[in-house]
Amino acid sequence: MVESIKDLRKIVQKKKKEVYYLRYSRIFSIYITKLFLYTPITPNQATLLGILITITGSLLLLADFPYPVLGGFFLILGLIFDCVDGEIARYRKSSSLKGAFIDDLSFYLIETLPFATLTLYALYTYNNYIFVLLGLSSLFSLMMTRIMVERRHFLLSKSVLEDRQKIKAQIYKKSNKIINAGTKKTGNFLLLMKWFYGKVYHIFILPGIVSIIIITSIFRHQEHTLIIYGIIAPIFLLISLIYQFYTIENDKFLNKILKSIKNKGN
């Protein structure tokens, strides 16, 4: 017998602070998780189901109104499924590197596929190759921003390879506090970069992207999503590149992270 929703949350949902959209997704994901726990569905199968939902939502963006709006809600459901697979794995104690690998790939798919289908829609509707350029600009900028952040975390993890079991959780928890304190000493330029990064960041993660897709679809101009991201995403990429470059080279940030992790491990 599967526990109640309240007890199930305590078992499978992380207590640590998460990105805001994951917190909201978990409000709904727990109900799907409980339903799946009555079945033999594995975490990897739940991930694949989420991928299929994302593909369906992206393909609906190619159709006429009101299907793109429905597609946007399918994409939101795909975000919720991004929590379900991990919750099933934690409940059944079946977490694996393969599962984490598939889950990461699905995240990239959710972030890129809608832009690919929107590009095809805009090209077919308006027969103007400027939308291809905007679509490529959006995809390249979003992916490079994502890769840059992931690479930063990899380099920090690599620096303390002997303590890799604790590094990822500790870096995510502590690096933001350290950077917030450290950037106060780096001058107005980096403070400006940090302010811009924090203000605009939310429209470049999945809930922001899906929200703009839904809004533009309601007004029957989903191609405007390409215009927005095709122009703003490269600017955000440049700001992010400057900010990440100057902060990762600051030894004080890294030393504080390493010292904190090592002290906690002793």
Contact 223, 126 (CB under 8 A): yes
Q: Is the pLDDT of residue 194 over 90?
A: no
Return the SS3 of 202: helix
Place of tokens 């095709």: 230
Contact 216, 121 (CB under 8 A): no
% of residues, the chain, pLDDT over 90 = 12
Q: Model confidence over 151-190: pLDDT tens digits?
A: 777 776 666 554 544 555 555 455 555 445 444 445 566 6
**Range in 4-13, 86-95, 174-183, 231-240 with the lowest mean pLDDT:** 174-183
Query: Helical H runs in the chain?
Result: 5-12, 20-37, 43-60, 67-92, 97-126, 130-159, 164-182, 188-200, 206-218, 224-248, 251-265
Q: Model confidence over 135-158: pLDDT tens digits?
A: 899 888 888 888 887 777 777 666
Structure confidence at residue 52 as a pLDDT band (50, 70, 90): very high
Structure confidence at residue 251 as a pLDDT band (50, 70, 90): very low
Q: Provide the whole-model pTM.
A: 0.71
Q: Residue 18 belongs to a domain with what CATH number? A: 1.20.120.1760
Tell me how many domains the chain contains: 1
Contact 186, 260 (CB under 8 A): no
Count of beta carbons in the 10 Å neighbourhood of residue 205: 16
Mean pLDDT of the chain: 77
Which whole number is the average pLDDT over 191-207? 69
State the chain's maximal CA–CA distance in angstroms. 63
Domain that holds residue 124: 5-265
Structure confidence at residue 107 as a pLDDT band (50, 70, 90): confident
**Per the structure block, which two tokens stand in for 173?**
């928890």
Q: Model confidence over 224-248: pLDDT tens digits?
A: 888 888 888 888 888 777 777 776 6
